[in-house]
Structure 1
């Protein structure tokens, strides 16, 4: 039996790291028994180990001191492969800047710590027509390696309903113009393959002939949707078009007409336009919600207790989940009540009590409670809830009903109206409390929500823009089981655009960000992109979360730190990270650099904020 020990240094603290070298005939059970550790602990000390295929000479950790504590995850970025590298696409899509209203070359240069001369050198078209004096909203500027991004145009972000025909009509251009402008665009796959969320060139960058950049109004446009698309304000649109005699009739009466959306003479900043606007301090600022799941406080690792929540990262903490009792009172899990009291003592954040969740609404003893409460018992529940919120000094509540209108989950066609009536009554009873709901990304499920009407009474809606794909898809035919990331940016943008089309104000939408990954078992261990397949076999569970097909970000980091991965990759089109490890394990996730990048994109889209599920997934497995 071969064993060796070495000293691992972490700051000023040292600890013995003990390992066993696998010999012929060794099994995990034998190793655990020989060293007096449990088989469960052996799995914990060796993330990703496959006990049915141990290799002679392989090292097994015998305690928790060996798990990569001398490795910095950021040092491993050099191992990460960009999937698009092989296809000749740009390595870093973030090396561009889309011009917003009120920006100048000076402000953009300051933003990226560039000299204006550098900015002009990377964007030759700026110098050719005095471009810095005439920046156009929507124009793409290169702020990194110009050899990677041959843009020099005004871009259009593809929406779900877009076709080349609609884009031609919107910008008064021809199909041949679109094709020629995008010949060097790595995202361009042709008119037959438009992808929601991608950037395509629609106009060459040149000085406008008129004082205005014009936009042709289409059916369904509103002042808010147009101002959002052109990153301006409704007040400025009114000012630019005030001389149009038909302007006061509303955009619905101007379909097919061109309106002014940008004017060179207007160089005031957005900040100055905000003066005098009435603001609702609960919804105007960018909201950052962190979900705290109470059961995470009792895990063996990735353990998070309410008193240890990092409140500096968030503006709101959602406690998941309180329970609705059979007599429609508010209940907290008894064995976790002290932890709940610690939650109520948090300071510097809004404290929101959440109800529902997938398990509460799963077929079982509680699936009937949500539909019954909104239909026949909303009076007593709202009354009980108000007293509970007051008693524990909480700031509001959130309803995560998964999902109204689904018969197998206790739903009925009346749920949509009943849920709306509940929200109305709750707002009337509790005018000064935060009231929010969580809503699905599925369009089919969204049909059972009266979102436009509900938005009037809600402070915000958390959109669950994750779990688009997962191991539940093993019921698909084998030829349709693709390794798709569970939180693609393309899917996320498509969902948000769909909800906005349902006339939900942008500022009331919080985009869901998962702090976990979803996993599959690869059919071919060498094939890891979205056109590869997975097989009907359960993936290895995370050692802390112990759920197959699911891994917390902390568990993923642990595998990376231990260097027991086969491949790290970044898929630019979906804006997701890929990890493969073991024989055939595949995980899609968002590392924190991608999370922070998405938050900046969401801010640029002028949405209300983000919600992260869940806080504990960010933890360090070594701390438990």
Structure 2
């Protein structure tokens, strides 16, 4: 290895040693008396003084070093796994070691950026007691190395590792209620790493056209925070209404410029992440989809084209976003949509593709468009679009995504209605907006204390500098406006809907921020509906309008104070981790394969499409009682 790679390896191994000790200390697996304080990365960390535990950790790190020396790309993940007394895995800390880099070290010759990132992770690890349930009595732990087939031979033939044997563990990834809660990502000139802990579903939609937005609004695949999502949905593909096959709506971007490839490669770098392709969207309309599903022959042609398309571009699943059955089509759309979903699911069994759908939050549309009990049988997840309840079409100022309301148009009303219709809570993913609605008042407010809610407005709102759509502003546009023109905007809060708003003369923005998202989570996941709802998780439309550049850090409203980027998405992850602990882990959702028993083992099959993957685990879990 080059000198730079050796340095990167040393930094990685030192960090893993510190991280393992921090986790073991704060998870209370051993008496805290065996740990002592030391100053590393300019902060106090806890390090074991117990000889046998220290020897075990050194042997693990030595095995990692030998693997990297043989092939610096052989290391996928290092996992610290906790087991209950029945030896079932109950908690896993995943260190996704994407890449050791040896270039551009002149930009940070003293590794100050790397040290800062490692310090942030250690501080986050010290908080794990606050959002993780205590480990049960008689718990134990082991380490896993996820690598390639030849690594097992490499380790067992290496004389430096002969006293510390490793074995192939084909069941190492099997966990109950497995989902991903990201803790931190490092992207520096010498180290690229993601650390995560399993929890609820976070589905992130990406609008493909965001790449064409100007200036700071331009969003590309490298901007995607894969560690903050369990599922990515790339929007949108379209329908060829002549051949009845799926097609790219932007072949230059998706195929020639490699956006499909770049998206699906995120799954290769983050094996727990599922990347889906969505078809439809508002601009596609409804009639062509109505024509498609009305004919069994056309459905069959379409389904075969979808399977070919997903396989060709290595997607993990398919999301239906027909807006909406029964709208601009025929009355039989509702039943024909069930037929399409059923036939897709049957056709997906061999490839184990995920199948999801985005559905309207409007109760009238729900009745017209969806046979909820039937589509629930075949969909892995149902994305409820809990937004666009109101806008300029109402000709008065009303919230985009009210938590509650008196007229039945709110997130709580929609979810309660769907649950009464028979939607399974453990397949229901609540969609939340990363944008707001803009309005122009017909007359200015009388005072700065007056609320704009329910005030008359014109039929056209104003637009933001990036999205360019009247009546709509992304959260990044909203927060940048509030930061750059602080003296112009008066902000307030509508208690009836739990929604923030901002007013500048006759201009009004009604939007969601971390506080309003938290209010939704606390009602829907933590308190009065904690046991009756217990939804699968959260969906966001769309992450390209979050504050992905971190321009609005001065607002200090993110619930994750360790990072400046993606305040909405990070806040979602923080609150969902708290809700999962309060709900006693009763969610039946599996991140890899929804609720379909036929899809068990989906993760291993998807990995096999790129390279054969092995998990190496210590021959005996290290257990020590004091």
TM-score (norm 2): 0.51
Runs of 4+ aligned residues of structure 1 deviating over 4 Å after TM superposition are 269-272, 277-285, 620-623
In the other structure, the counterpart of 1:417 is 335
User: Does structure 2 conserve the Cα–Cα contact (< 8 Å) formed by 1:462 and 1:510?
Assistant: yes
Aligned partners of 2:314 and 2:308: how far apart in 1?
Answer: 10
Tell me whether 1:355 sits opposite 2:355 in the alignment: no
Match runs of 1:520-531 below 5 Å? 520-526=439-445, 529=451
Match runs of 1:213-252 below 5 Å? none
In the other structure, the counterpart of 1:566 is 489
Aligned partners of 1:346 and 1:602: how far apart in 2?
Answer: 31
User: Does structure 1 conserve the Cα–Cα contact (< 8 Å) formed by 2:280 and 2:322?
Assistant: yes
Aligned partners of 1:600 and 1:535: how far apart in 2?
Answer: 32
Classify 1:602/1:303 alpha carbon distance in 2 versus 1 (closer, same or farther; 3 Å).
Answer: farther
Tell me whether 1:614 sits opposite 2:536 in the alignment: no
In the other structure, the counterpart of 1:319 is 234
User: Does structure 1 conserve the Cα–Cα contact (< 8 Å) formed by 2:442 and 2:458?
Assistant: no
* 3-state SS of 1:511 partner: strand
Match runs of 1:315-394 below 5 Å? 315-326=230-241, 327-332=243-248, 333-337=250-254, 338-347=258-267, 348=270, 349-361=273-285, 367-376=286-295, 377-394=298-315
* 3-state SS of 2:412 partner: helix
* 3-state SS of 1:543 partner: coil
Aligned partners of 1:619 and 1:419: how far apart in 2?
Answer: 36
Tell me whether 1:286 sits opposite 2:204 in the alignment: no
**Equivalent residue in structure 2 for 1:510, among 412, 426, 429:** 429
1:370 to partner: Cα distance: 0.9
- 1:545-581 deviation per Cα after TM superposition (whole angstroms, max 9, x unaligned): 1111100101111111111533111223311110112
1:386 to partner: Cα distance: 0.8
1:529 to partner: Cα distance: 2.7
- 1:374-421 deviation per Cα after TM superposition (whole angstroms, max 9, x unaligned): 221110111111111122221111111111112xx2x11111111111
Classify 1:282/1:315 alpha carbon distance in 2 versus 1 (closer, same or farther; 3 Å).
Answer: closer
Aligned partners of 1:280 and 1:355: how far apart in 2?
Answer: 28
**Equivalent residue in structure 1 for 2:214, among 289, 300, 322:** 300
Classify 1:452/1:622 alpha carbon distance in 2 versus 1 (closer, same or farther; 3 Å).
Answer: closer
Aligned partners of 2:288 and 2:459: how far apart in 1?
Answer: 35
User: Does structure 2 conserve the Cα–Cα contact (< 8 Å) formed by 1:488 and 1:574?
Assistant: yes
* 3-state SS of 1:436 partner: strand
Aligned partners of 2:426 and 2:387: how far apart in 1?
Answer: 20
User: Does structure 2 conserve the Cα–Cα contact (< 8 Å) formed by 1:559 and 1:565?
Assistant: no
**Structure label with greater radius of gyration:** 1
User: Does structure 2 conserve the Cα–Cα contact (< 8 Å) formed by 1:307 and 1:346?
Assistant: no
CA-based RMSD:
2.7
Tell me whether 1:595 sits opposite 2:511 in the alignment: no
- Between 1 and 2, higher relative CO (CA 8 Å, sep ≥ 6) is seen in 2
Aligned partners of 2:230 and 2:549: how far apart in 1?
Answer: 25
In the other structure, the counterpart of 1:435 is 355
